[in-house]
């Protein structure tokens, strides 16, 4: 992809992926879902998860799966507020960019 993915957009994408599962989801699955639409490495995504946790947008819990502990991430109330803000901003931003790139609006 030729366009850079900034920190805010990665945060929004991760929050959106995690919010789809009411009980939360685990790191590997988050990574796979994000990678299905963006070229991004695990070494990029795990710091995003940690930052969102530090910012109280995600809560974390461990659960046994197949004899091992699996770390799950769940969107907090604050995280949902942040995600809703990102969604509103994205609607405005992407609409303006699409209009310009598709030859519409004037600057």
pLDDT tens for 22-73 read 999 999 999 999 999 898 888 899 999 999 999 999 999 999 988 999 999 9
The structural domains of the chain, with segments of one domain joined by +, span 7-101
Can you read off the two tokens belonging to residue 21?
Answer: 């599962």
pLDDT tens for 60-90 read 999 998 899 999 999 999 999 999 999 999 9
Query: Which pTM does this prediction carry?
Result: 0.88
Domain 7-101 architecture? Orthogonal Bundle (1.10)
């Amino acid at each position: 992809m030729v366009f850079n993915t900034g920190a805010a957009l990665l945060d929004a994408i991760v929050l959106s992926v995690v919010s789809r599962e009411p009980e939360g989801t685990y790191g590997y699955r988050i990574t796979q879902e994000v990678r299905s639409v963006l070229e991004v490495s695990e070494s990029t995504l795990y710091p995003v998860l940690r930052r969102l946790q530090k910012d109280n947008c995600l809560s974390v819990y461990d659960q046994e799966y197949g004899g091992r502990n699996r770390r799950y991430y769940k969107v907090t109330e604050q995280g949902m507020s942040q995600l809703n803000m990102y969604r509103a901003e994205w609607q405005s931003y992407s609409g303006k960019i699409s209009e310009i790139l598709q030859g519409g609006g004037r600057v």
